[in-house]
Amino acid sequence: MILAGAVVAADQLSKRVISSELRLGEVRSIVEGAFNLTHTLNRGAAFSLMADGSSSFKLGLLILVSVLASVVVLALLWRSRQESRVGRTGLAMILGGALGNLWDRISNGSVIDFLDFYFRSYHWPVFNLADAAIVLGALLVLYEIFFGEERRPARRGDAGRRPPERASPRAEP
């Protein structure tokens, strides 16, 4: 929960700094040809999905989905108290990111985005620290699902972790 709070705090602080230092639509080059700070407002979902459409319906739907996702992630965090640190870290990052963007949607009706990565004509949608935390958290959760402790083969000396071997039935000739 501390990590989720830290993600929300860092996200909100970064958005306040961007809002005070850059006018809406202003672009500041940080790494020429690769990275800009670009102050934008995202009225859609992550990475500007659903940016078009009825704003009152869309805003209500995005707030509802964010609240439901946060409740689900909180329940998963509560349930996984005794489990892997990697999985819990990922869930906390997802929760912090979801709450950071939810805060913006409720208070402003949109989310401030500013991280703008590109290469030549290939341009990633502008995003923020909350979005980055959600993506990194999801990657950690996926890592835990596919490569976590339960998926690793037991090592010698881990007799308490490996289920007892069963005798295989012998085939009669």
Can 131 be counted among the known catalytic residues? yes
Spatial CB neighbours of 9, under 8 Å, sequence gap ≥ 6:
none
How many CA atoms lie within 13 Å of 125's alpha carbon, on the beta-carbon side? Answer: 15
Helix axes of 2-21 and 85-108: crossing angle, nearest 10 degrees: 40
**Active-site residue, from 11, 104, 116, 131:** 131
Can 158 be counted among the known catalytic residues? no
Q: How far is CA 49 from CA 42, 98, 153, in A?
A: 9, 15, 40
Q: How far is CA 164 from CA 138, 159, 167, in A?
A: 33, 8, 10
Q: Which amino acid is at 86?
A: V
Where in 100-145 does DSSP place strands (E)? 111-119, 122-123
**Active-site residue, from 11, 104, 113, 116:** 113
93 close to 3: Cβ distance less than 8 angstroms? yes
Rounded CA separation 70/64 (Å) = 10
Residues annotated as part of the active site: 113, 131
